[in-house]
Structure 1
Amino acid sequence: MTKKKAKAVKEDEKVGGTDIISKLHPNIVTDILSRLPFNTVLSCRCVCKTWLHLLVDPSFAQLYQTRAHPCIILQPTYRRRNQHLYAVHFDNRNRVRKSSTRIKFATKTHLCMGCNVKLSLLDSCNGLILLGSHYHYHDFVKLDQLFVCNPITGEFVIIKHKPGINLTFSNACLCLGFCPKTQVYKVVLLFKQKYGVEVSNSMPTHVYTLGVKGNGLWKSVNVGDDVLCQPTDTIFLNGIIHWVVRSASVPQFIYSFDVEDECFRPVPPPPEFVSPEQTTRSRWTISLGVLEGCLAIGECAKDAYFHIWVMKDYGVQASWTKAYTMGFTMEKIKLLSPISQILGLGHNGDILFSLMHRNLVSFNPANSSFKFHRIENLCNFNNVLSYIPNFSSLRDIARGEPLFNATLR
C-alpha cells in the first residue's frame, strides 16, 4: 500500500470508514441493531456518534421492544453490602450469556440506604424493575423504600410507601404493572391475609401511578370478594397482573388485577381443574408464566409429570390446552424442587423455568431433555424474573418524578 492510500484509509477511519455499514441508510442500521442482544446494543453506543443518536432515539426503544429477546434478570446472593443485579440473555443455542453490564446499588448517595439496609428484587414489567429496601426488625423483615428502575439506562425513581402502613415480606405483595393504552406504569400493593383467618372484603389495596398523573400519591382501590388471600409469584400479561390464591376458602384460585381500570377479576382455570379435589390440590402445585404471549399454568401432577397448560384465547376457559408434558426423571435428572416460575421460551424453543428461585433449568420439547444452566461466577441467587430490555429513558416514562442514576459497571 502506497503512503498516499494509507493516508486516505486513515482519513476514512476518522470519519467513520468507508465500509458497507457506514453507507447504509439510518433506518436499515436501526433495523439491524434492533435485532441484537441488549448488551451488544449497549456496546454499539460507543462505536460512533451517529449510532449513539440512533440508539437513544425513542423510536429505537419502541422497535426493540417489539422484537423482545428472551432475557432474565436475577439478584445474586451476597453477604457483603455491595449489591448487583445481572441481566442474562440466551443465544440461538440456548446457552447462557451473562451481560457484562451490571447495575451497582452500593452507595448511600444513590439510594440513601443505611448500613443495615439491603435491596430485594420484587418484580419486573415491560423493561422496568421494582426493588425494595428492607431491614431486619426483631423477627420481621420490614420494607422501607421502593425503587422503580430501568436497568438498561441505570435510571431510577424513589417511591416512599404509604404513610401509616407497616410493610413486611409476610404481610404484603408488591407488583409492577403497565397500561398499554395510557403508557403508564403503576406499583400495586396487595396485602396478604393470614392463614386461618377469615378473608375480609375490606383488605386494603393501594396503587401508585408513576409520573405526573399520579401526583406522587398512593390511592386506595376497591377490593372484590375474596381475592387477596396469599397472592404469590405475580405474572404480568397484556396490562393485567395475575397471581395464584392459595387459600381453599376462596372459590377461584387464579385472580387478576387490570392495571387500566384497577379492577379485580377471576381467571377461569382449565376445565380439568374445576373438581373440588383438583382445585384444592392445584393451589399448591401450580405456577404461572407467559409463553408466546399467552397465560400459562405449570402443574406438578400426581403422576410425577409436570404439565404446562396454555390459554390460547385469553379469558376463554375452553381455550386452555395442555401444550407440554415433562417427566421429572428424564435422563436421570430428578427435579426434586417445586418449579417456582415459568420464565419463557428460548430462541430454539426450549422452555426456561426456575426451581425455588435458585436454579435455572430448560426443557427441550423436541427430545424431552432437561438442561441445568450455570452462570459464571454466580453460584446462587435470591430471585430470578423474566425480563424484556427497555431502552426508553425514565425521564420520559416518569415525567415529574425526581430522577436518579445508579452506577453502571
Structure 2
Amino acid sequence: KDKDFQNQYELSLQEINTQRVRYELSLSRTITNSTQSVSAMQPPRQNVSKDGELTIYGGVTRSMTRRHRNSLPVPDDLAMEIFTRLPSKAMARCRCACKLWSSVLRSQDFTELFLTKSCARPQLLFVREDYSVREIVFITSPQPENPEENSYVVATNHLARFPRSNGFYGCTCTSGFFCYGDNRNLKGLQRPVRVPVISNPSTGQSLTLPRWNSKKKYGVEGYLGYDPIAKEFKVLSMNKSRVSEGWISVEHQVLTLGTKKLSWRLVECCIPHRSSSKWICISGVLYYAASAAGSSENSMVVCFDLRSEEFSSVKFGKAMPDSTTLVNYDGKLGLLMSGDSHDVSGARTSFELWVVRDAVKHEWFNHIYVLPPSWEDVVAAETMCIAGMVGVNEIVLAPWFQRLPYYVIYFNVERKTITKVGIQGLEAFHGGSFHTYLNYVENVKLL
C-alpha cells in the first residue's frame, strides 16, 4: 500500500473517532443538564411493574447512559464533512466498511458536497496512452496558485488505468467525468468502430455506452456536458453526412447518464453546420466550434442547452485559426488563439482572446496579450500547445511531446511574466505525449 495514502487514511479515521467522542460528550452533558433540571421541578417518576412492585426512577443510571452513549451515531452532516477530507481512493474502501458508511458515501448530498469542495481545489490532469499494456493512464498533480519561478509540483496521484482497444479519440472532461471514443472491432464490421465510453478516474469506473442509433457507423462526434441545476450528465452525439454543399452534422442524439436504461433519443437541430473537436461546457451549456454548411473553416460556435436540449449559435465573423482553444472566461465563452498553426513556438509574439459579449446579437470583444522578451528564452526550440486558461489572468501551455523533467508554462497576462512549472513523478512515462487538462475536479459519483 502507498505509505502516504495509508497514513492519511489512518489519520482521517482517528479524526472521525475524535469528532465522535467530542459530539457524544457534548450531548451527554446536555442530557445530564436537562435531566437535572427536570428532576428539580418534578418528583421522581413512578412505574408499576407487572407483579405490582413499585419502581422509582430518580434519574438516568450509569448503565443507561453507557448504553445510550454507545448507540449515538455521528450526525450525517458531520460525517460527510469528515469524509470529504479523505482522498478519493479511500472512498471505495470506506463504502465496504459498513452499510452506514456505504449509505452516506453513495448519497446525492455527499457527492454534491464532495464535488463542491473539489471545485475549490482544482488540479492538473495528465492523460496518456500506455502502448505497452494498451491502457489509458490518468495522473493528477496540484494546480499551483500564482506559480513562482522554478516552482515544482509533485505528481504522485496516479488515479486510474482503463483498457483501450485500438486507440482513443476525442477525450473530453467535464466535472470529473471523461468521455472518449474507443475504436473497437465489432462483429460483422470490416474495420474498427468508435464506441463511446464514459469513465470516472476518481472511482476507477468506466461505462461503455450503447451504440448510436445510426445507419452510419463512422465519423461520429460526441460531447459530454453537466447540468449543475438538474445535477445531470448528458452526452450529445452527431454524425456527418455528405451533401451537395459539403459535409454537415446530422442525426443529433442525446443520452442522459444515471437513468435505469441508457438509450439515445433524437433531438432537432435546425442549424446546418459541421461540428469539430473543439468544445467546452460552461454552466450547463455545451459550446463547440463549427463551420457553416459548404465551408471548411470554423466560423461560428454552436450552443446546446443541456436543460432545454435546444440549439443556438453565435457567429464569429471570420475563420478561426487552427490554434483556437475554447476557454471559460469568468463564466463566459472565450476563444483563445495564437495564429494559424496548432503549434506555439518561441517565435510567437502574442495571444488573442475573443469573448462573447452578447450571444443573441453575435457580439464579441477581444484582448491582445503581448508576450514579454523572456518568452523566447523559456520556450527555446520547444513546440507547445495551448492547454487553456486559469481564471482570467493565466494562459497555460504544455509541450506537444514529453521531455524530462516534464513541465507546463504559465503566462500571467496581467504581470507579463513567464513561469515554467516542472512536474515531477512522470519519469516512468518517458516518450510520447500527454493530454494536459486544467481545472480538473475529483467527483466520487458512481456510474
Which residue of 2 is the match for residue 255 of structure 1? 302
Residue 203 of structure 2 aligns to a residue in which SS? coil
Residue 204 of structure 1 aligns to a residue in which SS? strand
C-alpha change, 1:325 and 1:288, in structure 2 (3 Å) is farther
Alignment of 1:360-375 (within 5 A): 360-365=408-413, 366-371=415-420, 373-375=422-424
Higher relative contact order (CA 8 A, sep 6+): 1
The letter of the residue matching 1:299 is M
Alignment of 1:126-205 (within 5 A): 126-135=175-184, 142-168=192-218, 171-192=219-240, 198-199=245-246, 203-205=250-252
C-alpha change, 1:147 and 1:224, in structure 2 (3 Å) is same
Aligned CA RMSD, in angstroms, stands at 4.3
Residue 130 of structure 2 aligns to a residue in which SS? coil
Which deviations, in whole Å up to 9, do the C-alpha atoms of 1:82-116 show, x marking residues without a partner? 4132141325455434353432234xxxxxx7xx5
Alignment of 1:9-48 (within 5 A): 16=14, 27=77, 30-31=80-81, 34=84, 40-43=87-90
Cα displacement (A) at 1:340? 4.4
Which residue of 1 is the match for residue 433 of structure 2? 381
Match status 1:391 vs 2:444: yes
TM-score if structure 1 supplies the norm length? 0.68
Which residue of 1 is the match for residue 350 of structure 2? 305
The letter of the residue matching 2:309 is E
Residue 62 of structure 1 aligns to a residue in which SS? helix
8 A contact 2:159–2:204 mirrored in 1: no
The letter of the residue matching 2:141 is H
8 A contact 1:45–1:55 mirrored in 2: no
Which residue of 1 is the match for residue 257 of structure 2? 210
C-alpha change, 1:209 and 1:294, in structure 2 (3 Å) is same
Match status 1:339 vs 2:385: yes
In structure 1, C-alpha distance between the alignment counterparts of 2:115 and 2:193, rounded to whole Å: 31
The letter of the residue matching 1:234 is W
8 A contact 1:287–1:339 mirrored in 2: no
C-alpha change, 1:373 and 1:331, in structure 2 (3 Å) is same
Residue 63 of structure 1 aligns to a residue in which SS? helix
TM-score if structure 2 supplies the norm length? 0.63
Match status 1:284 vs 2:337: no
Residue 59 of structure 1 aligns to a residue in which SS? helix
* Structure 1 portions without partners, runs of 5+: 1-12, 107-112, 395-409
Q: 2:331 aligns with which of 258, 275, 293?
A: 293
User: After alignment, is 305-314 or 259-268 more displaced?
Assistant: 305-314
In structure 2, C-alpha distance between the alignment counterparts of 1:224 and 1:16, rounded to whole Å: 58
In structure 1, C-alpha distance between the alignment counterparts of 2:327 and 2:89, rounded to whole Å: 28
User: After alignment, is 288-297 or 17-26 more displaced?
Assistant: 17-26
Residue 102 of structure 1 aligns to a residue in which SS? strand
Alignment of 1:235-274 (within 5 A): 235-246=280-291, 249=295, 252-267=299-314, 269=316, 274=317
Residue 284 of structure 1 aligns to a residue in which SS? coil
Cα displacement (A) at 1:176? 0.9
Number of positions where the alignment pairs a residue of Structure 1 with one of Structure 2: 352
Which deviations, in whole Å up to 9, do the C-alpha atoms of 1:17-44 show, x marking residues without a partner? 899666566646754764x6x8x35348
Residue 141 of structure 2 aligns to a residue in which SS? strand
Work out the percentage of aligned pairs sharing the same amino acid.
Answer: 15
Cα displacement (A) at 1:261? 2.2
In structure 1, C-alpha distance between the alignment counterparts of 2:267 and 2:235, rounded to whole Å: 12
In structure 2, C-alpha distance between the alignment counterparts of 1:165 and 1:305, rounded to whole Å: 46
* Structure 2 portions without partners, runs of 5+: 1-10, 24-74, 341-347
8 A contact 1:144–1:160 mirrored in 2: no
Cα displacement (A) at 1:296? 2.2
8 A contact 2:198–2:208 mirrored in 1: yes
8 A contact 1:298–1:307 mirrored in 2: yes
